[in-house]
Every structure is written in C-alpha cells, then in structure tokens.
Structure 1
Amino acid sequence: MAQTGPGLNYRLPWPIQVHDIVNVAAVRRAEIGYREVEERGQEPVRRRIQEESLMLTGDRNIVDIQILVLYQVKDAVTFLFRAENPEEALRVNTEVALRSVIGNMDIDHAMTVGRPEVEAETWKILQMLLDTHQTGLHVAGIELQVVDPPDEVRESFYDVVRAKADRERLIREAEGYARDVVPRARGEAAAIVHAATAYRDERIALAEGEAERFLKILEEYRKAEAVTRQRLYLETIERVL
C-alpha cells in the first residue's frame, strides 16, 4: 500500500495492484433527518426521515430536527483502510452527537436562541467521535435546517408559544406604564406635600403674628386701660363706617 500524488504513476494490472482515487478537496454533504430527492424536470423535494429527525429534549418534549453536515476527507489512507464505512459512520455519529446535545436542552431554547449552541456543540462531539473511530473525515460545517415540534402538535405548540409571547408583551407594557405613572404620581405627591408644608408654615406664621400683636395690645391696655379701650373703640367704629 502506498500513497501517491498527482502525475504519471504506474501500477500493475488487477488483481496484482489496484488504486483508489480520493478527492480530498471536495466538500461533501450529509443530510440527517431528511433527504432532498430530485425528480426529473422539477425542483428538489425535501422528504423527512422520522427515524432520524424525531428527538427527545431535556424537558421531555419531542422535537423534529433536520441538519446538514458539510465534511471533507482529511486523510485518504485512514478514510480508505481504517473504518469499514466512514460516511455511514458519519451519519450514525451525527445522530449520536445531536441527540446528546438536544437531550440536555429545553425545546424553547433549541428552537430560538440556542441554535448556534446546538451547531457548535454537535460539531465538537461529532469531530471527536469521527477521530476516535478513525474515519479520516473532517467536519467543515454544521447547519440546522429545521427545529420544530412534530406535525401532530405543531399548531398547539405554536399556540402556547404565542400565548407566552403575548404574556411577555403585556408584562413589558405594564412595566412601561408603571415606569411612566409611578414617577409622575410621586412628583404630584411631592408637590402636594410641598404645598401643604408651605400652607402650614404660612398659617403658623400668621397665627404667631396675630398672637404677638394681641400680646402687645394687651400690654398697652394694661398700661392705660381707659386710653387703650377708647382707641380700640375708635378703630373699630372706623372700620365699620
């Protein structure tokens, strides 16, 4: 067994010698959970493979996942002579890696913000498995195609999702209304308290002034009762007239 590069290479005829050509530059595709079937004169049709696509999430929900794996041959000798069927091993190991990732994740997270995490974790586990099984393959990329609940419960699931979204929207609206109303109410309350305090201080000052004036009049009255009484009488009659 020998490995040669491009150019003129001689070999003895079969069955003495044989040769295998491996394109290590080509990027190959593996469709997990679906297959694209091309029919003559029509666009490719995607058909779901339920045995591969249906998986159990960490919160005990069933999710339908379809994934595309892009890979290359990184070692032609290992690819040809180590594993019995490297490309089938890639399919099986992709399922194993994807199920292990999804099994530790909630369905809501996997369907929304967790998609990049699913791709990254699946790539890491899959590459480790391929290296362990000596397939000679390198995973160039992983692309999630579909992450949905099964068809039988899809509408009910989306109803729940929409209800949760409406709940979050109403909570945000209520919080926004509270942020607008509460400061305004606090401002109005502070203004009322300030006005009441000013009115109180004004009334106290007036009362103290009246009391002080009365005490002065009382003091003058005691000094000259007849004169003071006459002056108060005249002042009163003047105000009346």
Structure 2
Amino acid sequence: MPWSNQSGGGGNNGPWGPRPGGPGGGQQPDLEEILRKSQDRLRQAMPGGGGKWVTALVALGAVIVAGIFAFTVRVNTDEVGIVLRFGEYVRQLQPGLHLRLPYPIEEVELPKFTRLNRIEIGHRGAPQGAGISVRDVPEESLMLTGDENIVDIDFVVVWKINNAPDYLFNIQNPQGTVKDVSESAMREIVGQSDIEPILTAARAETEGKVQKLIQRTLDGYQAGIEIVEVQLQKVDPPAQVIDAFRDVQAARADQERLQNEAQAYANRVVPEARGEAERILQSAQGYRDRVIAEAKGEAARFEKVLQEYQKAPDVTRKRIFIDTMQDVLSNTDKIIIDKDGGGGVVPYLPLSELQRKAPDETPVPSSSGSSIQSGGQQ
C-alpha cells in the first residue's frame, strides 16, 4: 500500500492516509451545490414551483451524477492510473476514461510519469523571473577529493518515474531519497578522483559515473525512478583559498609549459646530434676504406716495380730517379738550365712569372737534356 505522505494529489483522507483526489483521483463534486442549482432551475421551468416532483427529479439527477463520478475515473495523458482495491494494488490504467468500483472499495493514484523532476544539490535557485540570485549551500557542496583537496560542487539531478507501482509503494519520500542518494554518489565519485581532472577535462566523465551510481542505488531500492541526467553547475575550489589555488594552477601551467619546451628542444637537438655522430662515423669509415685502398694500391705498385727492377736494375733505377726528380721539381719555382746550352738566355727574363701564368704547362727540357742526368747546374 502507498505511504501516507506519497505525492499524487490532495483530497479527502482514506484509511491509509491522504487520498489523492478522493474517488476517481480527481476533485469530488459538491453535490449539495448541484442539488440546489437543479432545484432552482426546475422550479423556474415548472408551473407552480413543481413541489415534490422537483425534489424527486433533482435527487435522481444527483444520484446519477454521483454514480458517474463514483464509477469512472479519468487518467490524463501525462499520468498513469494505479488502482488500489482495499489498499492493495490490482491493476494499472492507461490515459483515458475508465470504470472502477466506488470508494472505499477502489481508489486510484495518479502519478505523473512523464514529468521531469529537478533536484538542486549544493545550491538553491530562485524561480524564473524572481530576480533573486542563487543561494549556496556549503554543507551540501563542499566535498573532499582523492588527493585530499576540498572542492565546491553544485549539481542538478533530473529524474522521472519509470515504474509507478514501485514508485508508490517502495519509497516514502521520492524527492528526499533521490537527493540523498545523489549527494552520496557524488561524494563517492569525487573521493575517488583528483581535483585537477574534476576542474578541467573530466567533468563529463564525472557526470556519467555519478548518474550510473545513482541509478544503480535506486534500482537496488526498487524505487521505480529513472535518472535522466546529472549536470555539474559549478566546480571550484572553496572561496577562501581560490586565489592561492589559482596561483598553484598557474605554477603548474608554467611547469608544464617549460617541460614541453625542454622536450621540444630535446626532440630537436638529439636527432641532430645523432645525425652528426652518424656523419662522423660514415666519414671515418670512408677515410679508413680510402687509406686501406691506397695502401693496397701502393703495395701492388711496389711489387710491380720490384718485379721490373729484378728484370733490369739499371734502367729501372734511372726511371725511378727521373720520376722522382720530376715530382720534386714540378712543385718549385726554380728553373734548371744546362750549362752548355744556356748562354743565350736573357738574364732578366722572368721565367718563373711565365711559369706561374701557365701552371698546367709542363716545361720543355733543353735539347741537351743529358745535363739533368749528369748533374746539371741551377
């Protein structure tokens, strides 16, 4: 049977508490007023006032009207009818006009199952157009986070009825039950979280977790209530420490910015250093390969010269001497002239300057080139 203070409309008192609207779930008609008006009209319509006939007709009409109201009930489109027979739930009525047994045999509860109910926790808002600011309720809004910080949270819970019998018979104060369960769920979720995510990126995640926890708790109570939405209105540190908290947040932001800059510098410098190290390694590898190849070439050339030297020592010796002198003298500015053939040379002729102008030209030896072989003079 429903609790005595269950919402569902005012009316006359029944054996189990206030009856929502009396028989039919609506407002009971004033039969005395109907009888009086009916008598007045009949007296005016009938000659001589009607006498007993007027009274009888009025009484009959009153009985008919009372019977209609006693045996019918109207369920509005936003309601569902819960029929109680001697206080026990027997059936459910959909929107429309229905027959039922008169009170006190049957009575009908009419909870509004499509209406969205709103509960404010942590604050109290004024009605629209009242021109009054929102009033904060610290005993509801101040909560302790998992990292031992205090946070001031205002939120709204939107709910509706999804099971009318459970809603009527299993909980005594729906509004208070939803409020208490919502506040408890929010404190539990906040107590498992750090303050920074709640203030920044985890607001939507917190709303979803709180909604699921409230719904799971109410389902355990079989309350017949569906949580439509949980809305975080305000999530701030307490007003007494909000300035210091903002300074801490600014310091953390600077720390993250410097860390990001340092990471960006490291991401730029480290690849450059690795590339330079790889370049040095590749250069050293190339130098090593070049030196080894040159050494092998020199060794092979020496072996070839040795083979030729073993075949003709004198010729090879002279050839080596001539090649060596050519390599040495080709890099100097000195001109060697045969003593026998140099009498016609102009003493001031700048032969060295002529040689600088044509460095790629090889000097043509004198006709008596034997002076080089025989140790000619400079």
Q: Do both proteins adopt the same fold according to a TM-score greater than 0.5, normalized to the shorter chain? A: yes
Shift of 1:152: 1.6
- For 2:129 and 2:101, the matched residues in 1 are separated by 40
Give the secondary structure class of the aligned counterpart of 1:22.
coil
In structure 2, the partner of 1:149 is 237
In structure 2, the partner of 1:167 is 255
Match of 2:159 among 45, 62, 71: 71
Instruction: Call closer, same or farther: CA 1:58–1:238 in 2, change over 3 Å.
Output: closer
Give the secondary structure class of the aligned counterpart of 2:287.
helix
In structure 2, the partner of 1:200 is 288
CA contact 2:123–2:137 (8 Å) conserved in 1: yes
Match of 2:122 among 23, 33, 57: 33
Give the secondary structure class of the aligned counterpart of 1:59.
coil
CA contact 2:100–2:106 (8 Å) conserved in 1: no
Deviations 1:87-108 (A, max 9, x none): 1121111111111222222222
In structure 1, the partner of 2:174 is 86
Instruction: Call closer, same or farther: CA 1:84–1:206 in 2, change over 3 Å.
Output: closer
CA contact 1:22–1:76 (8 Å) conserved in 2: yes
Residue identity in the other structure for 1:57: T
**Bigger radius of gyration:** 2
Deviations 1:12-69 (A, max 9, x none): 79x9998764322111100011111248563x62222101000111221111111111
Instruction: Call closer, same or farther: CA 1:67–1:226 in 2, change over 3 Å.
Output: same
Relative contact order higher in (CA < 8 Å, ≥ 6 apart): 1
In structure 1, the partner of 2:226 is 138
- For 1:8 and 1:18, the matched residues in 2 are separated by 12
Moved more, 221-230 or 65-74: 221-230
Match of 2:217 among 129, 133, 136: 129
For structure 2, list consecutive stretches of 5 or more residues without a partner in the other structure. 1-83, 86-91, 330-335, 337-378
- For 1:234 and 1:62, the matched residues in 2 are separated by 98
Residue 116 (1) aligns with residue 204 (2) = yes
CA contact 1:73–1:79 (8 Å) conserved in 2: yes
Instruction: Call closer, same or farther: CA 1:229–1:16 in 2, change over 3 Å.
Output: closer
- For 2:274 and 2:171, the matched residues in 1 are separated by 74
- For 1:121 and 1:169, the matched residues in 2 are separated by 31
Give the secondary structure class of the aligned counterpart of 1:68.
strand
Matched pairs, number = 239
In structure 2, the partner of 1:50 is 138
- For 1:162 and 1:174, the matched residues in 2 are separated by 18
Shift of 1:224: 4.3
- For 2:201 and 2:310, the matched residues in 1 are separated by 92
Percent identical: 41
State TM-score, norm by structure 1. Answer: 0.79
Give the secondary structure class of the aligned counterpart of 1:7.
strand
Residue identity in the other structure for 1:120: G
In structure 2, the partner of 1:7 is 97
Instruction: Call closer, same or farther: CA 1:140–1:64 in 2, change over 3 Å.
Output: same
Aligned pairs (5 A) from 1:170-189: 170-189=258-277
Residue 60 (1) aligns with residue 133 (2) = no
- For 1:131 and 1:215, the matched residues in 2 are separated by 100
Residue identity in the other structure for 1:122: V
* Cα-Cα RMSD: 3.3
Instruction: Call closer, same or farther: CA 1:124–1:217 in 2, change over 3 Å.
Output: closer
Residue identity in the other structure for 1:124: K
Match of 1:102 among 166, 169, 190: 190
Give the secondary structure class of the aligned counterpart of 2:125.
strand
- For 2:215 and 2:323, the matched residues in 1 are separated by 110
Give the secondary structure class of the aligned counterpart of 2:148.
coil
